[in-house]
Amino acid sequence: MFVHFSSLTTCCSLNFQQKENELDSLAWSRKYEVLSISRLVLHDLGLSVEHINSLTDEDMQALADGLQESISKTVGNLLEEVRFMVRLYLAEKEETA
């Protein structure tokens, strides 16, 4: 398909705008880690090396799944907590600007 542009500037501008929107989409979907668990974390929590070494990857995943479920129940409405924290952060950021 051939598209005729009135100028090279229009062509480049549209191309740049498309690329900018693509980057925005990627930036918007980027995830930031809130909580993770690892064998190193378990060691920092005081578990013995022997116990930690006995845990398989499946065991670690089961622990992570259990923690996620427990945290969801404990926090209640996690999305409301996120909304509150973001608004508080933005308000503090605005005060210091």
pLDDT digits over 60-97, tens only?
999 999 988 888 777 777 778 888 999 999 999 999 88
Burial of 94 (0-12, 13-18, 19+ CB in 10 A): exposed
Give percent of the chain above pLDDT 70.
75
Does residue 35 come out as left (phi exceeding 0), alpha (psi in the -120 to 50 range) or beta? Answer: beta
Give the global pTM. Answer: 0.54
What mean pLDDT value characterizes the chain?
80
